[in-house]
Amino acid sequence: MTPETIRPGGTIGILGGGQLGRMLALAAARLGLKAHIYCPEANSPAFDVAARKTVAAYEDEAALADFADHVDVVTYEFENVPARTAAVLAAHCAVRPGPAALAASQDRLVEKRFMADLGVPTAPFVDVADAGALARAVATIGRPSILKTRRFGYDGKGQAMLREGADLGATFRGLGGAPCILEGVVPFVKEVSVVAARGLDGTFAAYDVCENAHENHILSRTIAPAALAADTAARAVAMARRIADALDYVGVIAVEMFVTREFDAKGREVEALRVNEFAPRVHNSGHWTLDGAVTSQFEQHVRAICGWPLGAPTRHGARVEMRNLIGAEAEDWRDILRAPGASLHLYGKADARPGRKMGHVTRIWTESEG
Amino acid sequence: MTPETIRPGGTIGILGGGQLGRMLALAAARLGLKAHIYCPEANSPAFDVAARKTVAAYEDEAALADFADHVDVVTYEFENVPARTAAVLAAHCAVRPGPAALAASQDRLVEKRFMADLGVPTAPFVDVADAGALARAVATIGRPSILKTRRFGYDGKGQAMLREGADLGATFRGLGGAPCILEGVVPFVKEVSVVAARGLDGTFAAYDVCENAHENHILSRTIAPAALAADTAARAVAMARRIADALDYVGVIAVEMFVTREFDAKGREVEALRVNEFAPRVHNSGHWTLDGAVTSQFEQHVRAICGWPLGAPTRHGARVEMRNLIGAEAEDWRDILRAPGASLHLYGKADARPGRKMGHVTRIWTESEG
């Protein structure tokens, strides 16, 4: 069985070979750890920086068992790890974050109910098990509202906006007839996220709440800290902590939230928060920490899953901006290298397809600058 | 033939698989480049973070040719690359820094004469081709003085102090009877180094001059910036630039210097500099730049050898300290992880032999702290 705490020289197993796995492997290397990447796709970017690799399907139980026998702890770069995969691995070594986090984050209905049970506000939602349930749900939630498949949604995939006059049956079938939830549209002022870590001993460390901008449903830009009232930011961090504690979470967690203007019981307009979703892993909105914080989210995740003390999440500078390089935007690499104060990260992906995250660039502002 | 400029996705070949090769490979990965490590020792730390590896002798010309055919540019983590090795590689692809830098840095006599030709002050020195020449050399330089083999010295190896009464013949034989130089002892106030980079286009960027402390001839601690008069620091950087320009250098160079108190022509005591040696590579005294500068020396070296624009060498904070973890000192990893503001780097070496560099720890001070 896995020891609770991994020593330098140990091996971290990572499911997934994309840029998150790659940056986790780089952080592990810096701390004297080896990375073993497990990924079905040959030529995955993370393989290039890993001590060992396994190219196999996530359903290949023999390969999973062999992988788990050769690593000290398993983590993952994506939340849609099949429950069976996690169970097979867990029979051989520690899987961190654990199964509760995977179960709650893979299914939008389970996730929303989990939040509701914790008293964490979300968008209004209704279960839509089948086409017949959709009309009843629309009657409850109203329009516009958003129909989302319960599972396998990301970057705007698996969802459809329901406006006045939309054909409910066609919309439901358009999402594959899969079980869905209907969510009310939250009229948000801004989107923020809390990237934080919880250690094996229950310690908790949050980065500054950051503000996110999306284009075509893909994160384009993050600014830390978000422009929020101090008590709103504190409430955001407290919600993330409540979620992490409830899951007995180990590792970095990212909680996406909407900031709204709402009226309180006394009719005063207040800055409010509603959680959109959480990801049980390092997150694109935490990439700014690589250059912009004392401990990056990748090192923090490695520390947590190894049972090590968490590092300081302290921000460098007055403000940090992270911009994603999507598709052909990465062709500007030479100009970015020349820009004073810009830090370039490229993920080693050969093919710059539209919408593909190819890299990111970070910039730190000191007090005296814009 | 190699293009002058490498594109992201290209492969950097690195001779040597120690911690410097490892940190170069990590910097290359961050920029979307692949690293191919060539090293005779299996289980070299750099292999764990490299996309490809070759385990072969530096004299294996078939392996060298194959390696060079599969990379876009070759660099190295140590200056004692045999001239023949460099020539075999250069027939297949660019080798950066080039042969002039290797030739000048491998032989203390050639190095000292090169400095003298440039008007760069060093310790007084005399060629000691054989035992007979040593007595004449001692008559010129005086005692105490230091007898050093011309080649293959590092970390105090290949040298002997000649004090009053020392047996000259025995000392010469004690260094293997190899060709030597005799150097006068420089009564230095402190040891500093200039870590700087020169781009393919001749641009030059120096980090802050840093101050180094050694224990048992091994670097133990570096502080940036060194406590020096501004004009002394400027002269140190100018010397490094003169050396790099004379070599038509490409990459990061480290120039070690002694700071002395000397008397100028008018009899005034002044802060003076004498170059000890230079290393045509990233250097232990530049490790502070990994956390303490906008662009690390490793990224800077990669940028230079790829023909890319150099990055800003700007220091973070008011002062940066780097401490080497030698041998068993790395056992303190858990305490270091807990120390506020400390950044831990471990090199993934299995065996913590005495005197072995196992990792380092960096600390950044802001204005308000000590």
The residue with tokens 């999973």 is: A64
- Look at residue A325 and give its three-state secondary structure: strand
Q: List chain B residues with CB under 8 Å of A34.
A: 48, 348
CA atoms within 13 A on the CB side of A316: 26
Q: List chain A residues with CB under 8 Å of B294.
A: 341, 343
Hey, are the CB atoms on B345 and A312 less than 8 Å from each other?
no
Nearest to A17 by CA among A70, A77, A93, A106: A77
Hey, are the CB atoms on A32 and B303 less than 8 Å from each other?
no
Q: What is the pLDDT at residue A303?
A: 98
pLDDT tens-digit map of B106-134: 999 999 999 999 999 999 999 999 988 99
| Alpha-carbon separation of residue B68 from A132, B71, B88, B99, B103 (angstroms) | 66, 5, 9, 16, 20
Cβ–Cβ contact A317 with B under 8 A: no
Cβ–Cβ contact A330 with B under 8 A: yes
- Interface test with chain A among B344, B347, B369, by most A beta carbons within 10 Å: B344
Hey, are the CB atoms on A48 and B47 less than 8 Å from each other?
no
Q: List chain B residues with CB under 8 Å of A49.
A: 25-26, 29, 49-51
Chain A residue whose CA is closest to B338:
A309
For chain A, residues classed under CATH 3.30.470.20 are 190-365
pTM of the model: 0.96
| Alpha-carbon separation of residue A123 from A108, A179, A182, A184, A243 (angstroms) | 12, 18, 10, 6, 16
pLDDT tens-digit map of A187-233: 999 999 999 999 999 999 999 999 999 999 899 999 999 999 999 99
Say which of B9, B26, B338 has its CB closest to residue A26. Answer: B26
ipTM: 0.94
Chain A residue whose CA is closest to B315:
A341
DSSP B155: T
Hey, are the CB atoms on B30 and A26 less than 8 Å from each other?
yes
Say which of A49, A312, A334 has its CB closest to residue B341. Answer: A312
Percent of chain B with pLDDT over 70: 98
CATH superfamily of A124-184: ATP-grasp fold, A domain (3.30.1490.20)
For residue A175, the surrounding DSSP H or E stretch is none
Does the pLDDT of residue A26 top 70, yes or no? yes
Q: List chain B residues with CB under 8 Å of A35.
A: 48
Fold of A190-365: D-amino Acid Aminotransferase; Chain A, domain 1 (3.30.470)
Does the pLDDT of residue B350 top 80, yes or no? yes
Cβ–Cβ contact A165 with B under 8 A: no
Mean pLDDT of chain A: 95
**Mean pLDDT, residues A1-25 taken together:** 91
Nearest to A180 by CA among A138, A215, A122, A118: A138
- Amino acid, res. A86: A
Does the pLDDT of residue A368 top 70, yes or no? no
Shortest Cα distance, chain B CAs vs residue A87, angstroms: 28
pLDDT tens-digit map of B220-274: 999 999 999 999 999 999 999 999 999 999 999 999 999 999 998 999 999 999 9
Tell me the sheet residues that pair with B321: B223, B363
Pick the CATH number of B11-95 from 2.40.33.20, 2.60.40.1120, 3.40.50.20, 3.40.50.720: 3.40.50.20
Strands of B233-279 (E only): list them: 251-263, 269-279
Q: List chain A residues with CB under 8 Å of B9.
A: 348, 350
Which of the four pLDDT bands, split at 50, 70 and 90, describes residue B157? confident
Shortest Cα distance, chain A CAs vs residue B30, angstroms: 5
CA dist A180 and A147 (Å) reads: 7
- Look at residue B273 and give its three-state secondary structure: strand
Q: List chain A residues with CB under 8 Å of B338.
A: 309
Which of the four pLDDT bands, split at 50, 70 and 90, describes residue A28? very high
Cβ–Cβ contact B48 with A under 8 A: yes
- Look at residue B332 and give its three-state secondary structure: helix
Shortest Cα distance, chain B CAs vs residue A103, angstroms: 32
Hey, are the CB atoms on B347 and A303 less than 8 Å from each other?
no
User: Which residues, numbered 12 to 41 in chain A, qualify as contacts with chain B under a Cβ-Cβ cut-off of 8 Å?
Assistant: 22, 25-26, 29-35
CA dist B213 and A86 (Å) reads: 50
**Mean pLDDT, residues B64-82 taken together:** 97
CA dist B250 and B95 (Å) reads: 9
Which of the four pLDDT bands, split at 50, 70 and 90, describes residue A4? confident
- Interface test with chain B among A12, A49, A314, A369, by most B beta carbons within 10 Å: A49
Hey, are the CB atoms on A338 and B309 less than 8 Å from each other?
yes
Q: What is the pLDDT at residue B366?
A: 83
For chain A, residues classed under CATH 3.40.50.20 are 11-95
Shortest Cα distance, chain B CAs vs residue A350, angstroms: 7
Which of the four pLDDT bands, split at 50, 70 and 90, describes residue A366? confident
Hey, are the CB atoms on A359 and B311 less than 8 Å from each other?
no
For chain B, residues classed under CATH 3.30.1490.20 are 124-184
CA dist B330 and B345 (Å) reads: 10
DSSP B317: S
Say which of B33, B48, B309 has its CB closest to residue A337. Answer: B309
**Mean pLDDT, residues B291-314 taken together:** 97
CB-count burial class (<10 Å; 0-12, 13-18, 19+) for A56: middle
- Quick count: other Cβ atoms within 10 Å of Cβ B96? 23
The residue with tokens 């949050």 is: A206
Q: What is the pLDDT at residue B370?
A: 47
Q: What is the pLDDT at residue B4?
A: 84
Q: What is the pLDDT at residue A219?
A: 96
Cβ–Cβ contact A352 with B under 8 A: no
Which of the four pLDDT bands, split at 50, 70 and 90, describes residue A370? very low
